[in-house]
C-alpha cells in the first residue's frame, strides 16, 4: 500500500472535492449574489480553473504527507477509514 500513496491521496482528494464542491460553489454564489451576472460568471470560471486546481493540490499534498507519516497499521486503518467516511458522505448526499 505504501508504494501507492500518491494514487491513494489523489483518490481521497477527488472524493473530498466531490463532497465539498457544492458547498464551495454555494458559498461563492452567496458571497457574489449582489454582483452583476457577468462578474459572477467570471468568478465562477476563475474558481473552476484556478481555485479548484489550487484546492486539489493543497489537499493532495497534505493528504500524501499525512499518509507517509503513518506506520503500516495506521496507514491501512486511515486509508480504509477515510474512504469509508467519504463514501458515506457521498451516499448521504445522494451522489452515489
* Crossing angle for the helix pair 5-31 and 52-68, to the nearest 10 degrees: 140
Question: What's the average model confidence in pLDDT over 70-90?
Answer: 94
Give pLDDT, residue 94.
73
91, burial (CB in 10 Å: exposed 0-12, middle 13-18, buried 19+): exposed
Of the pLDDT bands very low, low, confident and very high (cuts 50, 70, 90), residue 1 is confident
CB 11 within 8 A of CB 82: no
CA atoms within 13 A on the CB side of 6: 1
3-state secondary structure of 70: coil
Cell of 20: 465539498
pTM of the model: 0.80
3-state secondary structure of 63: helix
pLDDT tens digit string along 7-63?
Answer: 999 999 999 999 988 888 888 888 888 999 999 889 888 888 888 889 999 999 999
CA 93: distance to chain centroid?
A: 15
**Segment holding 3, helix H or strand E:** none
Amino acid at each position: 500500500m505504501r508504494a501507492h500513496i500518491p494514487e491513494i491521496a489523489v483518490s481521497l482528494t477527488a472524493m473530498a472535492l466531490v463532497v465539498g464542491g457544492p458547498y464551495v460553489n454555494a458559498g461563492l454564489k452567496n458571497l457574489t449574489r449582489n454582483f452583476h451576472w457577468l462578474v459572477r460568471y467570471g468568478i465562477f470560471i476563475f474558481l473552476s480553473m484556478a481555485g479548484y486546481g489550487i484546492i486539489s493540490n493543497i489537499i493532495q499534498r497534505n493528504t500524501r504527507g499525512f499518509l507517509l507519516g503513518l506506520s503500516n497499521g495506521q496507514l491501512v486503518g486511515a486509508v480504509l477509514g477515510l474512504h469509508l467516511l467519504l463514501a458515506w458522505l457521498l451516499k448521504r448526499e445522494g451522489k452515489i
